[in-house]
Structure 1
Amino acid sequence: MTESDTPSGYRPEFEAALRLFARVSEAMHLRGLPRPVLVGGAAAEFWSASAVSTGDFDLCTPVQPELEDEMQRLGFVRPSGRGRFLKGWIHPELQLGFEIVADVPMDGNVDAAHIRLVQPIGETALFRVIAVEDLIADRMGQYASGTAPDRIGQAQILLALHPDADLAYLERRIREESGGDFGVQDIHPGP
């Protein structure tokens, strides 16, 4: 499935990073390799049109060395020096870091049919991102852990921006991610 062009309204640096990510993704596809999947805060910023903002792009891929090769070809470098984040990548023209966080999104709990293929405005390249329902479930799982109390607010924003979300799938995914402690009713005011 290809989503229509991404909505406008993103902060300029995020939009530039999305375009670069799409080019990396397209390069992987042209090599016959799976496109990486955008998850985490960058997915939240994508689905919220920058109402929720992030400082990095979290990516999932089962072919990390090949993805890192493509990132280097497009100008990404590993930051170096004291006090620098050493696990990820940066592009000299962007103020956002890129990090490969897993082989598959959300420990493989994401229904592959819910991973979206998206084309940024002005690009011919495509990238993959987890569905808004899985992202909301992720935010609720982090909230349920007690380590990220702000994530329930992000989940509420995301659901408010996507009233057409598949609520049955969302209910199941929130229950899975929160250990059964939360459901859609905890972030949705009801019919």
Structure 2
Amino acid sequence: MTTYRPEFEAALRLFARVSEAMDRRGLPRPVLVGGAAAELYSTSALTTGDFDFCSPCQAELEDEMQRFGFIRPSGAGSMLKGWIHPELQLGFETVADVPMDGNVDRAHIRLVKPIGESALFRVISVEDLIADRMGQYASGTARDRLYQAQLLLSLHPDADMEYLEQRVREESAGDYGVEDIKSGT
């Protein structure tokens, strides 16, 4: 049985409801990326403090978020770019119009239904997430991302290795591939 942190499960359900509201309006569902996608795919072995997502309809998405009780924090020490929900201890932020500068194959974006929820949301594939982790690792600014890529790959041995190799090479400017993840470079 899949087990997540309770606050993360609650956030997934709320994100799915916002996503469903966007779909009912005929607008694209936002796509979950970053740390929240890593927590989703690792069943909370990796944890996050925020939900990053991509949406080309930010104004409409923010309207829906407000309808679901999200507020934009204000004042000193507040996260000024994102949103919070009073019942959750996680930030929510639109980080781009499309995932990974449009380099994600749309066919690899997944639709997910959280436990105990009928609403759906979109998330980048585990392959694209691993590639993102390796791109950050390759930049030299996030050395812990290699561990995250290794953990995600170990939890998803059924990943599309051909696509993963292509995406890791793209995100790391050709410096790394799947074998580097497996060997720990």
Give the TM interval when normalised to the shorter protein. over 0.9
Trace 1:70-81 onto structure 2 (pairs within 5 A).
Answer: 70-81=64-75
Shift of 1:109: 0.1
**Separation (CA, whole Å) in 1 of partners of 2:124 and 2:46:** 16
Report the Cα distance in structure 2 between the residues aligned to 1:139 and 1:166, rounded to whole angstroms.
16
Of 122, 133, 137 in structure 2, the residue corresponding to residue 128 of structure 1 is 122
**Percent of aligned pairs with the same residue?**
79
In the alignment, structure 1 residue 88 sits paired with structure 2 residue 86: no
Alpha-carbon distance in structure 1 between the residues aligned to 2:2 and 2:75: 36
Report the TM-score, using the length of structure 2 for normalisation: 0.98
- Quote the Cα distance in structure 2 between the aligned partners of 1:77 and 1:16: 17
Moved over 4 A (4+): none
Q: In the TM superposition, what is the alpha-carbon distance from 1:187 to its structure 2 partner?
A: 1.1
1:57 aligns with 2:51: yes
TM-aligned CA deviation for residue 8 of structure 1: 2.2
Question: 1: CA distance between counterparts of 2:76 and 2:106?
Answer: 40
Per-residue deviation at 1:130? 0.1
Q: Which amino acid aligns with 1:44?
A: A
Distance in structure 1 (CA, Å) of the matches to 2:101 and 2:79:
24
Q: 1:19 is aligned with what amino acid?
A: R
Match for residue 30 of structure 2 among 31, 36, 45: 36
Q: Distance in 2 between matches of 1:151 and 1:61?
A: 24
Structure 1 unpaired stretches of 5+ = 1-6
Q: 5+ unaligned residues in a row in structure 2: which ranges?
A: none
1:11 aligns with 2:5: yes
Deviation at 1:57, TM superposition (A): 0.3
Q: Which residue of 2 aligns with 1:22?
A: 16
Shift in Å, 1:31? 0.5
Alpha-carbon shift at residue 9 of structure 1 (Å) = 1.1
SS of equivalent residue, structure 1 residue 188 = helix
Supply the RMSD in Å over aligned alpha carbons: 0.7
For residues 163 and 145 of structure 1, the distance between their equivalents in structure 2, rounded to whole angstroms, comes to 25
Structure 2 distance, partners of 1:8, 1:182, is: 31
After superposition, give the CA deviation of every residue in 1:67-96 in whole Å (9 maximum; x if it has no partner): 000000000000111111110000000000
The aligned amino acid for 1:38 is L
Residue 46 of structure 1 pairs with residue 40 of structure 2: yes
Range with greater deviation from structure 2 (110-119 or 7-16): 7-16
Q: Tell me how far apart the structure 1 counterparts of residues 2 and 9 of structure 2 sit (CA, whole Å).
A: 9
Q: Residues of 2 paired with 1:164 and 1:120: CA distance?
A: 21
1:183 corresponds to which of 165, 171, 177: 177
